[in-house]
Copies of this chain bind each other. A is one copy, B any other.
Amino acid sequence: MQEIAIIQPALAAWELQNKRLVSLINSLTDDQLSREITTGKNTGHYLLGHLVAVSDGMLPLLGINDRLFPELTTIFIQNPDKSGLEKTPISTLKTQLQAVNQHLSAGFATHSASNWLGRHTAVSEADFEKEPHRNKLNLLHNRTNHLAYHLGQMALLKA
């Protein structure tokens, strides 16, 4: 019980950042989201796709599910904003974000505390023995901060 209480704030932090992201993208028009954060930097559209793709990638890393939208990886992770690749439309990305977050929440609900301290699937068993801090909880923290980092940037699109 105590152990789960210690995990709880990390899950709450993840949910809070996602709630803020959803609230932000719903408050911005597609036109606003299509703009660069500042001259020459990423657009809100690219950052939204990037965040959906990174969250989607958490599903296999945490052993919950395969990626739901593997096609996002090429467009929004492996290539930069100005790659010339056709971007998944903003409205589609919003729906995909919802689906990914639902799968993550369902998966989190089944994770025990000791599960959170286990390795994520990008770390080999041998490496995990040497670097036991590379566990699932650590991944969740890093992804939450990654989300907050880009959320701070996207918030600059507000008038």
Question: Is A53 among interface residues, defined by CB-CB distance under 8 A?
Answer: no
> Nearest-CB distance from A43 to chain B (Å)?
13
| Contact call A5/B117, Cβ cutoff below 8 A | yes
Question: Is A151 among interface residues, defined by CB-CB distance under 8 A?
Answer: yes
Q: Which of A63-71, A85-93, A121-129, A135-143 contacts B (4 or more CB under 8 A)?
A: A135-143
Q: Which of B16, B137, B146, B153 contacts A6 (CB 8 A)?
A: B137
Q: Which of B12, B141, B150, B152 contacts A10 (CB 8 A)?
A: B141
Number of interface residues, chain A, beta carbon within 8 A: 37
Contact with B along A14-54 (1 / 0, CB 8 A): 00110000000000000000000110010000000000000
Closest 4 CB pairs of A and B: A149-B152, A13-B141, A152-B152, A38-B38
| Contact call B12/A141, Cβ cutoff below 8 A | yes
Contacts of A144 in B (CB 8 A): 13, 141, 145
Question: Is A99 among interface residues, defined by CB-CB distance under 8 A?
Answer: no
| Contact call B38/A145, Cβ cutoff below 8 A | no
Question: Is A59 among interface residues, defined by CB-CB distance under 8 A?
Answer: no
Q: How far is the CA of A2 from the CA of B10 in the complex (A)?
A: 16
